[in-house]
Amino acid sequence: MSATRFKDHFSGHAAAYAAARPTYPEALFDWLAAQCTRRELAWDAGCGNGQASVALAAHFRRVHAGDPSSAQIAAAAPHPRVTYVVERGERSALPDASADLVTVAQALHWFDLTAFHAEVRRVLRPGGVIAAWTYGINRIEGADDPGINALLRTLHDATLGPHWPPERRHVAAGYRDLPFPFAEIAAPDFVLRCDWTLPQYLAYLASWSAAQRHLVATGRDAIAEAAPALQTAWGDPQQRRAVIWPLAIRVGRVEAAITI
């Protein structure tokens, strides 16, 4: 199954993706580290631009960060405790029982899950933790609400709807429809928040895979076309607005073997 073709929706705009994506809350990584009995090695699978990888480096002695896109790895943020490699999550270069934590940030829906779950069990130490999280459509606070959020929903669902990859449905479901064969750990509610100007927000929208696919398919820039209406609802483009994404997270543990 691991020979399934890699579906690459981000290499063509890897630098823009790295610059425009929101950052995860520190509290998420504080909590994940607290679930681990050791903090020697974390594996960030499907690491993309390394956003989660660098955050993990504040808690783990080493971070192994892998992504099948060489363009994403080239755009990743360097850190002395993070080793970036071009590899698929279904086949890591890590040795058996070597990692204390496996993370998958906004990428689990792209994986061959049967192969990846087997690889997680191979790489994690007994009692190790796996965490996968995602975020879907955001809401904007402090603007013409619900006007701007209605515009956003129209852009996301109607304009770009035909151009979202089918795997996007798993993001919308918060990964609850995906198999997760681990002993689950209840996680707190985490929220991703960025205080952005309108140009920063439009750059984020332009990093959506569906926006890029729409541009290729139609020759039209859906984000640029939506920008005037969004600006009317936003107000002063340099005014910072709170952009909020609830995080959906699945966390589990590979249970230690029982000895008699």
DSSP labels, 7-60: --SSGGGHHHHHHHSPPPPHHHHHHHHHT-S--SEEEEET-TTSHHHHHHTTT-
| Digit-coded pLDDT (tens) for 174-220 | 999 999 999 999 999 999 999 999 999 999 999 999 999 999 999 99
Q: Tokens 């899950």 label which residue?
A: 113
Region for 175 from its dihedrals, namely left if φ exceeds 0, alpha if ψ lies in -120 to 50, beta otherwise: left
Q: What pLDDT is recorded for position 176? A: 96
Helix (H, G, I), strand (E, B) or coil at 252: strand
pTM for this entry: 0.86
Residue 204 lies in a domain: yes
Residue 2 lies in a domain: no
Residue 109, pLDDT > 80, answer yes
Q: What is the CATH classification number for the domain harbouring 142?
A: 3.40.50.150
Residue 258 lies in a domain: no
Q: What is the mean pLDDT of residues 97-105?
A: 98
Residue 70 lies in a domain: yes
| Digit-coded pLDDT (tens) for 212-250 | 999 999 999 999 999 999 999 999 999 999 999 999 999
Residue 38 lies in a domain: yes
Residue 100 lies in a domain: yes
Cα(234)–Cα(254) distance, integer angstroms: 46
Q: What pLDDT is recorded for position 218? A: 96
Number of domains forming the structure of the chain: 1
> In which domain, by residue range, is 43 found?
11-253
| Digit-coded pLDDT (tens) for 116-148 | 999 999 999 999 999 999 999 999 987 665 689
Residue 53 lies in a domain: yes
Residue 3, pLDDT > 90, answer no
